[in-house]
Amino acid sequence: MNYRRLKQKMESEYNGRVNNLEKHLGESLRKRRLELKLTQSDASAGICSVSYLSKVENSKMLPNRLFIREMSKRMGMDLDAFIKSSTDTEILDEGIKAYYHREVGTLSRLKDNVKAASHPTLQSVFALMLAHLKGEKDECDSLISTLMPVFTGRNLRASTVVVIVAIIHAFEQRTYRHAFSLLRTLEGCEEALKPRLKALKHMYAFLIKQKTGCLTSSISDYEQAVRLMSDYPSPHHLLTIQLYRIHQMTFENSKDAMKAFLNISMEMIPDTHINMYRALQLKMIPEIALKQPEGFISCLNHERRDTWFYRALASLSHLAPSAQLKAKLAPHFEDVRRPHLPEKMYFEGAFIEKGEAEHDFLKNVCLPIIMRCEEYEYIDHFTRRLSDLSMEQSRYKEAMSILRRRHRLLSSLSQVHA
């Protein structure tokens, strides 16, 4: 290790923090002095020399303890709290950076270094970010429910971090209405959002709008997220948004989607994204999976049983429905609970006998679940298929009733973004 270079880096980072603090302290002190209509001579009388105050205001030095105590009294402002607040902001910014780049070790170290007694806000925010990165759903739920009422409207920077994590958590739980309502709470808070938080905000606005069928309005969020991520690169987030964009393109232009998909090399795909990549591969190049279904299944990340894991298996069951494949895939769906019930319904539907049995399955099993679903793609698929079956069986009133329910549900989703 080059210790000289490491020392220089540490000194540079330290000097950057000190310069930043000097700048904000000096600017705030000057602003307050001018508000009180005091000259530098008036403000410094009995405390320090005029030149000393001038250096502080011009960000050329940090003041001593006597200056902070006496000037706080004269100016009617808590300079000690200001310095502490600036330090808290710098530590929080480090935490945001670690969270954005998914650096669990760095975030854990920052959390351990922050004392709960003097930094309760930071302790709680770091605990939330860490729990989310570790996939601790119950801990996230608990911390979000505790922190949201406490921070909203107070520590704005900390509030925005809590809201961003809550948005991502809600998206992962597929509660898209709630996620979008949280997004709306960030309106008017752009100045408090650091670039990395802005990137996450636009990224998840794009993903939420895509899931709820607002494809056109999602493009601007996609473009802004990609622009911000090009300045603050994160391979994880960039790959996520690229794969979701390709998924969206499959509904718009299959040729463009295929071209974009083939530009992503298999070697680029980490374990965290393999299920989504395979699900898209199955959709656009099904023959790959049909040649060797067992090989396709084994290539999925079985430890990461996310939405795309179940979607890939369910899609495979529709491409090659057989008793043998059903027996192999069924164990994966045995203990499936919300939020992956739509994929389970889709899987089971592949092996239902066509006709009356399929109609009853869709109407009595799938429809009640889908009516509580918040995902455009599944609502559209199941309700459309059931209405088509009802029409084929001359159940015209039932078909019209299903189409009306479908229209109401999809309209309510689109109104979320209005």
Q: What is the pLDDT of residues 313-371, one digit of tens each?
A: 999 999 888 888 899 999 999 888 778 999 999 999 999 988 899 999 999 999 999 88
DSSP state of 232: S
**Who contacts 181 (Cβ-Cβ below 8 Å, separation ≥6)?**
416
| Helices and strands counted in the chain (H then E) | 24, 0
Residue 17: band (very low, low, confident or very high) from pLDDT cuts 50, 70, 90: very low
pLDDT exceeds cutoff 80 at 128:
yes
CB 206 within 8 Å of CB 238: no
Q: Does the domain formed by 1-77 have CATH 3.40.50.10140?
A: no
What would the two tokens of residue 200 be? Answer: 């996450």
**Who contacts 92 (Cβ-Cβ below 8 Å, separation ≥6)?**
122, 125, 157, 158, 161
Q: Which candidate, 24, 144, 145, 151, places its Cα nearest to that of 77?
A: 24
Specify the pLDDT at position 152.
53
Residue 85: band (very low, low, confident or very high) from pLDDT cuts 50, 70, 90: low
Domain ranges of the chain: 1-77
Specify the pLDDT at position 414.
77
Could you tell me the sign of the dihedral formed by the alpha carbons of 126, 132, 134, 137, in that order?
A: positive
Q: What is the pTM of this model?
A: 0.78
Specify the pLDDT at position 8.
46
Radius of gyration for the alpha carbons in the chain, expressed in angstroms and rounded: 28
pLDDT exceeds cutoff 70 at 235:
yes
As a whole number of angstroms, the distance between CA 366 and CA 382 comes to: 7
As a whole number of angstroms, the distance between CA 287 and CA 285 comes to: 6
Instruction: Decide: residue 308, CB within 10 A, 0-12 exposed, 13-18 middle, 19+ buried.
Output: buried
**If residue 344 lies in a helix (H) or strand (E), which one and from where to where?**
helix 341-349
Residue 20: band (very low, low, confident or very high) from pLDDT cuts 50, 70, 90: low
Q: Which candidate, 331, 329, 404, 325, places its Cα nearest to that of 371?
A: 404
As a whole number of angstroms, the distance between CA 286 and CA 283 comes to: 6
CB 230 within 8 Å of CB 201: no
Specify the pLDDT at position 81.
62
CB 232 within 8 Å of CB 224: no
